[in-house]
Chain A
Amino acid sequence: MKKQHKEVVFGLYNDEEILLKAVKEAHHQHLDIMDVYTPFPVHGLDKAMHLEESRLHIAGFVFGALGTLTAFLGMTWIFTRDWPIIFGGKPYWSVPSFIPITFELTVLFAAIGMVVSFYTVCGLGPGVTNPVLDDRITDDKFCIAFDADHCAPEEIQRLRDFLTRTGAEEIHAKSL
């Protein structure tokens, strides 16, 4: 992702319930919200913003299945093809004793795969610095941000009016 110079108008709200109403109102007025920032997960916000459901669980399933196959096929290949050894009179391909490791690797692959996917799709990771609109957003402020790039002054005024009317305590503009 390229870092672009971007004008942002944002309002800070004091309460998540006021924020939720404002987000719904913005949707009614066909205002295009750039993003909403909150100090904790606000339930119902994704629906109000019409965000698609997260697809992380699919990644989890795929990585988990990969783990299952790696473990089971790996042990099968090792004990039937690569170096068959008889342990305690059991058959070479002793499936019941492969179950614990197969299970563990399923969980391990799914967990690592999902966590890595999560940080990748969110663009987060060690060394990443994202612009912070206001230091209090991770404390007690709830923020609605509008992209004000190439906006005419009257459009920006409309956004500001919207923020004031829906109960924003503070309204700021920032270029990122």
Chain B
Amino acid sequence: MHTPIAPVREPLIEGGKTYHDISEDLCGPTEKAPSLSWIIAFMVSGAVMTFGFFSIAWTIWFGIGSWNLNRTIGWGYDITNFVWWIGIGHAGTLISAILLLFRQKWRTGVNRAAEAMTIFAVMCAGLFPAIHTGRPWFDFFMFPYPNTRGPLWVNFNSPLLWDIFAISTYFTVSLLFWYTGLVPDFATVRDRASGFRKKMYNLLSFGWTGSAKHWQRWESLSLILAGLATPLVLSVHTIVSFDFATSVIPGWHTTIFPPYFVAGAIFSGFAMVQTLMLITRKLLKLEQYITINHIESMNKVILLTGTIVGVAYLTELFIAWYSGYIYEQFAFFNRAFGIYWWSYFGMMACNVLSPQIFWFKKIRRSIFWTFLMSIFVNIGMWFERFVIIATTLARDYLPSSWSYYTPTWVEIGIYVGSIGLFFTLYLLFTRVAPVVAIAEVKHILKTAGDQYIGSKAKGGHNKEETVQESAH
């Protein structure tokens, strides 16, 4: 069963793996005792997470007054971090859903970890709206439920409510998609394990047997879930951008926001995937599954989306000038040259200028530059949200209300703590589940393994492909 593929495609699985090698390599990390580097990483991220929870407890105990928000600047670190995390969460669904529909084989190397990252990032994102209400025990008021106050319902016209629906749906669908993909792999781990581990993985694998009918339904389910998740992922950040775009604040009230936010989300999400994957492939020795080709593909996405974001920034500036509306013009002049000029230039440097180095193939294929750029992009995208939120709010219509905002240690603590939470969950995930989708990698082995295609290919049925390649 060989679907003909372009002979110019580089192999995606190196090392001449057999099916059994794939099971060994990918189940291995869950079966061994954690390495010293894992333990150290877990302790550090756990400590950071604990500090984050301490800061949350402080906020709830003393109230939102422990943050530096004021009457002019009602959103600061909280919503900045929320949008940042939601954006990071977008790459997972993009990789697993959109690239599945486009039949991009390289997604199989990274989709599992990217989907896990999505789920953890959405959890971190969800923290902020929950806490910023000040009384999180009343957060259930945000959901429409028959209540004894009338019943008085929520405002279905409000983008903040749309956001709640979008994010809860996104989290649920991502979780279902991810877990359904994990079930056959948990079965692989189960059949290799014994004793208590076997019992645990038997529970997790839902009694999966690998029956042909089940696989047929499983593929059908994955495809339809991908089809559903594709518009979903675009809608989620669109709705997040509506939080701003439907307001009447100059600098927020723009129709460019939805596509610009979605591109930015994919941009930052891929950067976070790169950060995680570069560390994961090194620590778990997965270089033959997450190859330089995978990294290069993701860098191309970063370059594309970074450039879209850059065009959006310039379009915004142009339209502000072209509108002839002084408040809009002032908002954008203030964004670039006002009190928060440093964050605007940080954003421009990290998001627009620096990704342009990925036009060079050498840099796209360099681990060092990729890692450095992934950090840059994440900083830049955080600045972008901060620029949009804080800069715009700091200069109100009335100069008498103008203000400045710097976070307190509590706000910084929650932000840093959310990063700790993210890495703690990710580290636990690498211990429990195979970080690369075993069944999907086996599925593409014969069309993407280096013993079958590429310059090192050998043997029987690919002779034509090899010949074609040398003819090229």
Task: Contact check, B228 vs A100: say whether CB atoms are below 8 A apart.
Answer: no
Task: Contact check, A138 vs B224: say whether CB atoms are below 8 A apart.
Answer: no
Rounded to whole angstroms, the CA-CA distance of A110 and B3 in the bound complex is 32
* A42-B215, A82-B151, A105-B165 known; A56-B176 Cβ under 8 A: no
> Which of these, A49, A100, A127, contacts B242 with CB under 8 Å?
A100
> Closest chain B residue to A130 by CB distance?
B207
Rounded to whole angstroms, the CA-CA distance of A75 and B144 in the bound complex is 10
Task: Contact check, A112 vs B207: say whether CB atoms are below 8 A apart.
Answer: no
Rounded to whole angstroms, the CA-CA distance of A69 and B168 in the bound complex is 19
Task: Contact check, B156 vs A39: say whether CB atoms are below 8 A apart.
Answer: no
> Which of these, B192, B206, B224, B225, contacts A125 with CB under 8 Å?
B206
* A54-B216, A100-B239, A112-B176 known; A35-B211 Cβ under 8 A: yes
Interface residue? A153 (CB, 8 A): no
Specify which chain A residues have a CB less than 8 angstroms from the CB of B192 in the assembled complex: 135, 139
Interface residue? B184 (CB, 8 A): yes
Number of B residues near A (Cβ < 8 Å) is 66
CB within 8 Å of A: which B1-25 residues: 1, 3, 18-20, 23
Rounded to whole angstroms, the CA-CA distance of A115 and B224 in the bound complex is 10
Task: Contact check, A137 vs B210: say whether CB atoms are below 8 A apart.
Answer: yes
Specify which chain B residues have a CB less than 8 angstroms from the CB of A87 in the assembled complex: 155, 157-158
Chain A residues touching B, range: 35 or more
> Closest chain B residue to A35 by CB distance?
B211
Distance of B98 from chain A, by nearest CB (Å) = 15
Specify which chain A residues have a CB less than 8 angstroms from the CB of B218 in the assembled complex: 41, 118
Distance of A112 from chain B, by nearest CB (Å) = 7
* A112-B172, A125-B206 known; A118-B212 Cβ under 8 A: no
Task: Contact check, B213 vs A51: say whether CB atoms are below 8 A apart.
Answer: yes
Interface residue? B208 (CB, 8 A): yes
Task: Contact check, A40 vs B224: say whether CB atoms are below 8 A apart.
Answer: no
Classify the secondary structure of B's interface with A: helix
Rounded to whole angstroms, the CA-CA distance of A44 and B239 in the bound complex is 41
- The 8 A CB mask of A30-50 against B (1 = contact, 0 = none) is 000001111111111110010
> Which of these, A100, A122, A136, contacts B162 with CB under 8 Å?
A100
Interface residue? B219 (CB, 8 A): yes
Specify which chain B residues have a CB less than 8 angstroms from the CB of A41 in the assembled complex: 215-216, 218-219, 439, 443
* A35-B212, A42-B215, A107-B228 known; A101-B156 Cβ under 8 A: yes
Specify which chain B residues have a CB less than 8 angstroms from the CB of A169 in the assembled complex: none
Give residues in B with beta carbon < 8 Å to A: 1, 3, 18-20, 23, 144, 150-153, 155-159, 161-162, 165-166, 168-169, 172-173, 176-177, 180, 183-184, 187-188, 190-192, 202-203, 206-221, 224-225, 228-229, 231-232, 235, 239, 242, 438-440, 442-443
23 contacts between A and B (CB under 8 A): A37-B210, A43-B1, A45-B216, A51-B213, A74-B144, A87-B155, A87-B157, A97-B156, A97-B157, A100-B162, A100-B235, A101-B165, A104-B239, A107-B169, A114-B225, A128-B207, A132-B209, A135-B191, A137-B210, A138-B187, A138-B208, A138-B210, A140-B19
Given contacts A35-B211, A85-B155, A122-B214, 5 further A-B contacts (CB under 8 A): A41-B216, A45-B215, A83-B150, A87-B155, A104-B166
User: Which 4 pairs show the lowest CB-CB distances between chains A and B?
Assistant: A128-B207, A140-B19, A54-B220, A100-B162
